[in-house]
Structure 1
Amino acid sequence: MTKQKCIFLDRDGVLNVERGDYTYLPEDFILENKVPEALALLKQRGFLLIVITNQGGLAKGLFSRAQMEACHQKLLQNCNYAIDAIYYAPAHPAISASLARKPDSLMLEKAIAKFNISPAESWFVGDQLRDMQAAEKVGVNGILVGPHSPATYIRQQHNLWEATRFIITQA
């Protein structure tokens, strides 16, 4: 079976606007600029699209799985169901330890195994260094986006649309 190429995507700050607080109400879940267009272009280029997100507010009891899933449903609807899978880590270090939570790589490892993904042909677009650390652990290329990107990080783009344009020139 041929290995597939994939774009792994952090959620908050990449797909939806980072509010600085937990986003768990659909009315607060606002897509970043040109996200549907970016995902459509990546799909046209043959990439799987998999969301990899820490959702520690679940462990803290700040919101329910149903609330989080309502946000994910809004994401899927607004992006024409282009996303192939959503992996989330419900743990938070203040409450419970988890190897799934980024910067650890268990969510990525599960997706790579399930979907027969080629890490060398795949990318992780995230807005935090922990996203890049998780990608590095499994041999996936990383691109930082957004205002949290340290000036010293090699691959940076302003947002997912710009990251998408960069990725398709590399593929």
Structure 2
Amino acid sequence: MKLIILDRDGVINEDSDDYIKSPAEWRPLPGSLEAILKLKNAGYRVVVASNQSGLARGLFDYDTLFAIHDKMTRMLADIGTHVDGIFFCPHGPDDGCRCRKPDTGLLDDIAKRFGRALAGTPFIGDSLSDVQAARAAGATPVLVRSGKAVDEDAAELAGVDVYDDLAEAAGSLIARDKSRTHKKGG
């Protein structure tokens, strides 16, 4: 089973410094939903791992977060696909929890839920905390430029593949998989 983990805001949907606080504010990035469909068609189980500190900050409640996720899952269903899980941290940056990225709690939960180590599992994010969490959990960090601005020359990004968006990252991963399969079979 191939597994891939995606951050939500800035990877699947437009990000906002003011937070995504309602379904109306949740807008998919161009090509992101289709990229998920392509990943699913290539045999990946697709899981979302997202910090949602807007809950702790009182900017929205759980019902609203679930409505946002419902909008995303309905839009994915409309194109014939789905995600295999949505994991989120509801805590704020000063709450000291283990689930808030860059800590590994969300990724540890995903590993436990899917019964596998995360070594070699791509984790596509848009921030340094996503890269740090991936590395700490043993996953392979992948960075996209479609969300938060990150200094791509930062030493912490050495060896990290960087793409413009989820569609480009997914296309590269799928092509790499096909190349490996072709080499094994040929």
Aligned 8 A contact 1:9 1:52 in 2: yes
Aligned 8 A contact 2:12 2:33 in 1: no
Match of 1:110 in 2: 109
More displaced, 161-170 or 145-154?
145-154
**1:137 positional shift:** 1.0
> Secondary structure of the equivalent of 2:174?
helix
Match of 2:142 in 1: 143
> Secondary structure of the equivalent of 1:120?
coil
> How many matched pairs?
167
1:67 aligns with 2:64: yes
- 2:169 is aligned, of 155, 163, 166, to 163
1:97 aligns with 2:103: no
Structure 1 pair 123/87, CA: closer, same or farther in 2 (3 Å)?
same
Unaligned runs of 5+ in 2: 178-186
Match of 1:53 in 2: 50
Pairwise CA RMSD = 1.3
Unaligned runs of 5+ in 1: none
Alignment partners' CA distance in 1, 2:54 and 2:33: 26
Deviations 1:94-148 (A, max 9, x none): 3x22100000011111111111234234110100010011111111111111252
Greater Rg by CA: 2
Match of 1:86 in 2: 86
Match of 2:15 in 1: 18
Q: What is the TM-score of this pair, normalised by structure 1?
A: 0.92
Alignment partners' CA distance in 1, 2:166 and 2:49: 15
> Secondary structure of the equivalent of 2:119?
helix
Alignment partners' CA distance in 2, 1:24 and 1:5: 32
Aligned 8 A contact 1:6 1:117 in 2: no
- 2:29 is aligned, of 28, 32, 46, to 32
Alignment partners' CA distance in 2, 1:134 and 1:107: 9
After TM superposition, which residue ranges in structure 1, 4 or more long, deviate above 4 angstroms? none
Structure 1 pair 150/164, CA: closer, same or farther in 2 (3 Å)?
same
> Percent of pairs identical after alignment?
33
More helix per residue: 1 or 2? 2
